[in-house]
Amino acid sequence: MADQKYSKFDTMRRIGFLQGALAISFLLLAAGLFYFQVANGDTYVKLASQNRLRILRMVPPRGSITDINGAPLAVNVRTFNINGYPVDLQKEENVRKVTELLNRRGIPMTEEKFRETVSNQYSAPYRSITVATNLTFAQVAEMVMDKDFGHILFPTPVWKRSYPAAQYAAHIVGYVAEITKEELETKDPGAYRGGDIIGKNGIEGEYESVLRGAAGEEVIEVDSRGRKLRDVSYVRSSKGEDMTLAIDLAAQRYAAELIGKYRGSVIAMNVNDGSIRCMYSSPSYDPNPLTWGISSKEWAALTDHHERPMMNRAISGAYPPASTFKIITGSALLENKVANQNTTVVCRGYFELGGKRFRCWKHSGHGRENIVTALRDSCDVFFYELSNQMGINGLIRTASKFGVGQKTGIDIVGEASGTLAGPEWKKKRIKENWYGGDTVNYSIGQGYVLMTPLQVLRAYAAIANGGRLLKPRINTKAPVESTALDIPPDVLKLIKRGVEEVTRSGTGRRAASYGIKIAGKTGTAQNSQGEDHAWFVGYAPVDRPQYAVVAIAEAGKGGSSVAAPIVGKMLNFLINGKKYEEEKPQENKTPAAQGTETAADREH
Amino acid sequence: MAERFSTSWSDIKKNADWLFVLVTLFLFAFGLAAIYSASASFAKGSAAVSGFVVRQIIWGGIGAFIYIAAVKTDYRNVMKLAAPLLICTVLMLTALLILGHTAKGAQRWFNLGFFRFQPSEFGKVVFALALSKLCAALPPNTPRGIGAAIAVAGAVMLPIMLQPDLGSSLVYAVMLFAVFIVAGMPVRILASIAGAGAAALPLLWLVMKPYQKMRVMVFLDPTVDPQGAGYNVIQSRIAVGSGGLFGKGFMHGTQGKLHFLPEPHTDFIFSVFSEEFGFIGAALVLLLFAVLLWRILNISQYTKDMNGKLFCVAVAAWLWFQIAESVAMSMGLAPVTGIPLPLFSYGGSSILVISLALGLVQSVNVAAKQDRF
């Protein structure tokens, strides 16, 4: 009997239950539809229209960068990429067609490699992928004419940055590369997108906002493959602003030639307006591969290189200023009335403090020295003894006026501030008291004080121009800015006389024999890691100074033998407009000498 | 058992549930409109109507013939063939599995030239027949009854799962459960089966292929892969949502037209329809489906024959699951499974097998009314 197994009533009830469940489930579905279509309909209408609309950003060419004479330092090259959609490129017949097309147009490609290219870039069937890059206009024009091209492929123009001056202006101009995730997070989200290029360094980095221009927008309606159906709107992009730098490319090349194999830098600055005519850091690097994309291995090789070619030593290298610092110590002594022009010290070749002997570089001693002769002879004992009397605080006060320990504010990134040091600094950093010996060392630019070549140059430019501490600038359009040194004019005059004596009859005589009369100072910085660093900083013409030049050669031993000729020749080049040629009287110099390289130019 | 049942034309005319017929025809017509719109951009050259619409009309015509034939034949006569048909189905599914294995890929159909015959679709109606017959004779309230039903279900579901076609095997599972409910399985056993099913879901994850896992993952969070697998979910929801209250109008859906929807004429047909006809249109279709299923369950209530009762329940559960899954999927509320929307989606197998099932349900109705008078 069926009724014993289950009751009819129960079955009816259970079917009724199913009908109830059915009704509830359909009500839920209807509620879902209501939620998406009515309650949130507007959101999805917007999404649907965005779906159909593709906003294409048109990144404008960056502003070009030229040197003071109009020589190109950074330019844009128009190249083309060849793109296609995976839905098309994955078809067997098209693989063959495209491969043949590429080969026909001189781009080597095998079917195997082509399939790999497509699958490597594949993200979705309607996201275009790049088949070939860096094609010229002529190449693309030829390809577009090909019968197979139009159905499967399309060209996209791409601006590439190129640096014709290559390694000669790398540290100044910098380079551009793809924006990093970190940069993307800090930049204005309206202006940048992933994959954009951005200035990374030097002028390219500092003046990014000027050079970049504004991206345009083209709004088009597309189908799901991203194929254009029609134009919707168009906003023109605006090109980045062109820049003219104060840099002279010829001087850059000359600086590279003069410093040769040494690590170090050469900087030339106009002492009246602070414009930088030359800033070369050695060794240098070619920024072009960085812009076009290098492997992480190549990048590591560049950044981990023991000579650190990417570092701009002119502004990032902090060195002991050594004897070049004596103009600052001298100013301090005069300003603090510890000495006047008649004060003399007898140099016996050493100065004794607390039972310790501080040697003069000339072990036999200089005899009686005043401020002018002490600068001329670079006599250490004169500065040891009087600075010890004055104390460290007076010295630091004056050094601070000359900008020691402060960034110069030059318009490229990566500047170091150096170290002003002093008792408080030592207490904080090394947890030790300041000793008299520290002051003695400090007085000749050794010990805790560190300066960048640019800071040293700026101090000398201030002596040359009569007391204005300039803000160095590379962009010709940057305003001329300076601060007064706040040091009495007679003090500066006396120091200036001393510096002029150096090249007339003192340690820097060599610098004065390259076709122009200059004033300047040598320096030999003790280097705990190896040979001494050679400094020379000077300016010319002596009567009405125009340019100041500094050269530092790491491990170059003596300032007078290595660095002085570089400065002398560079000043000659900047003021007389020609390279100095040895063994020839100046009158016989050929006008064509500029830009040519002769063996005689290399002096050792 | 040798008794032959016969239904006369006049009986059919008098006793047929005409509302049921009308709703079926309406749904098929709406489906045609959606296919017409969805496949408009596939139309080649000057042809005003794409091949999909023409073929769907042909399938519909054949379906109508099958429907009438089913009513005329009487479901009780068909029910006698349940066991041999089931054996045939299992054999076909197994053959497909072996073929698919040698072809190194999933294979779901036999290509008969004019039409791809899909045994897992055909199997649904066979399974409904066999299961209702079995559970009517041997109710699932004894271990023996339950064991037999599960053995039959397993024989059909296993080869489908191995294809792998998880979506279709879920349809079978839902049919089985609904029949268990109505056939008088004790409530506590029903509850434990439901519990065990829920507990087995994680196990399913282990046997799923990577693309299946991806579908589930993008269902949980479409942004996991917005350009790939999640794309379909996002685009479909945009299509449905952007339809708004009144829709964008027939042939004016942009999502479907511009190929943002994959498979717009089959899997995502409801999205196309909702985009063009809005909430009003979509709700109307839901209402029609609800009426259809309600009628089927009413017939199940009405008939005294346990075979017919359970068969109607099985068909209702099958259609319900496919409708609910398809509609929920279009909103991104269920994973993408590729289950067709009954009467709507383009596809011969689906239309023919549903025509057969609905024809048999109609036959249950006609026979029940005959008995009463």
Contacts of A49 in chain B (CB under 8 A): 254
Residue of A nearest to B240 (CA): A37
Whether residues A352 and A454 share a domain: the answer is yes
In a domain, A415, yes or no: yes
Position A594 scores a pLDDT of: 40
Across the interface, whether the CB atoms of B279 and A29 are under 8 A apart is answered no
Position A134 scores a pLDDT of: 80
The residue whose two tokens read 């329940």 is B313
Q: How confident is the model over B220-246, as pLDDT tens digits? A: 665 555 545 566 777 788 888 888 888
The mean predicted confidence, pLDDT, of chain B is 84
B residues 266-325 lying closer than 8 A (beta carbon) to A: 274, 278-279, 282-283, 286-287, 289-290, 293-294, 297-298, 300-301, 306, 309, 313, 316-317, 320, 324
**A&B contacts, CB < 8 Å:** 135
* CATH code for position A201: 3.90.1310.10
Whether residues A478 and A596 share a domain: the answer is yes
pLDDT per 10-residue tile (average), chain A, 604 residues: 55 92 94 89 76 68 92 90 78 84 84 83 65 83 79 80 91 87 73 78 90 79 65 78 94 93 94 94 89 77 83 92 92 91 90 88 89 90 92 91 92 90 88 89 90 94 92 93 90 90 78 81 83 90 92 82 89 88 50 38 32
B residues 49-78 lying closer than 8 A (beta carbon) to A: none
Whether residues A334 and A237 share a domain: the answer is no
Separation CA A454–CA A317 (nearest Å): 9
**ipTM reported for the complex, 2 dp:** 0.90
> Is pLDDT above 50 for B7?
yes
| Nearest CB partner across the interface for A15, out of B139, B245, B313 | B313
Position B373 scores a pLDDT of: 61
Position B316 scores a pLDDT of: 96
Q: Is the peptide bond before B202 cis (omega within 30 degrees of 0)?
A: no
Contacts of B321 in chain A (CB under 8 A): none
Residue of A nearest to B138 (CA): A5
Whether residues A461 and A348 share a domain: the answer is yes
> Is pLDDT above 80 for B204?
no
Q: How sure is the predictor about B2, in pLDDT bands with cuts at 50, 70 and 90?
A: low
In a domain, A52, yes or no: no
Whether residues A237 and A354 share a domain: the answer is no
Position A190 scores a pLDDT of: 65
Whether residues A552 and A584 share a domain: the answer is yes
Position A14 scores a pLDDT of: 92
Average pLDDT over residues B320-327: 94
Position A219 scores a pLDDT of: 67
In a domain, A460, yes or no: yes
Share of chain B above pLDDT 70, in %: 84
Across the interface, whether the CB atoms of A41 and B244 are under 8 A apart is answered yes
Whether residues A310 and A238 share a domain: the answer is no
Whether residues A351 and A378 share a domain: the answer is yes
| Nearest CB partner across the interface for A10, out of B184, B316, B327 | B184
Whether residues A347 and A381 share a domain: the answer is yes
Position B30 scores a pLDDT of: 93
In a domain, A412, yes or no: yes
| Nearest CB partner across the interface for B320, out of A22, A223, A229 | A22
CA distance A290 to chain B (A): 31
CA distance A229 to chain B (A): 10
pLDDT higher at B16 or A218: B16
Contacts of B138 in chain A (CB under 8 A): none
Query: b/e per residue, A124-163, with b = 16+ CB within 10 A?
Result: bbbebbebbeebeeebbeebeeeeebeebbbbeeeebbbb
Q: How confident is the model over B151-200, as pLDDT tens digits? A: 999 999 999 888 878 888 899 999 999 999 999 888 898 999 889 888 87
In a domain, A335, yes or no: yes
Whether residues A167 and A182 share a domain: the answer is yes
Position A52 scores a pLDDT of: 65
3-state SS string over chain B?
A: CCCCCCCCHHHHHHHCCHHHHHHHHHHHHHHHHHHHHHCHHHCCCCCCCCHHHHHHHHHHHHHHHHHHHHHHHCHHHHHCCHHHHHHHHHHHHHHHHHHHHHCCCCCCCEECCCCEECHHHHHHHHHHHHHHHHHHHCCCCCHHHHHHHHHHHHHHHHHHHHCCCHHHHHHHHHHHHHHHHHCCCCHHHHHHHHHHHHHHHHHHHHHCCHHHHHHHHHHHCHHHCCCCHHHHHHHHHHHHHHCCCCCCCCCCCHHHHCCCCCCCCCCCHHHHHHHHHHHHHHHHHHHHHHHHHHHHHHHHHHCCCHHHHHHHHHHHHHHHHHHHHHHHHHCCCCCCCCCCCCCCCCCHHHHHHHHHHHHHHHHHHHHHHHHHC
- Whether B328 has its CB under 8 Å from any CB of chain A: the answer is yes
Cross-strand pairs, A451: A319
Across the interface, whether the CB atoms of A48 and B327 are under 8 A apart is answered no
Whether residues A460 and A546 share a domain: the answer is yes
Whether residues A573 and A537 share a domain: the answer is yes
Contacts of B283 in chain A (CB under 8 A): 30, 33-34
- Could you give the residue numbers annotated as active site of A? 323
Enclosing domain of residue A206:
59-214+232-244
Position A85 scores a pLDDT of: 75
Position A144 scores a pLDDT of: 82
| Nearest CB partner across the interface for A40, out of B241, B286, B324 | B241
In a domain, A343, yes or no: yes
In a domain, A28, yes or no: no
Give the total number of structural domains in chain A: 2
Position A590 scores a pLDDT of: 42
Which range (A30-39, A589-598, B54-63, B336-345) has the least confidence? A589-598
* CATH code for position A493: 3.40.710.10
Contacts of A11 in chain B (CB under 8 A): 182-184, 306, 309
In a domain, A42, yes or no: no
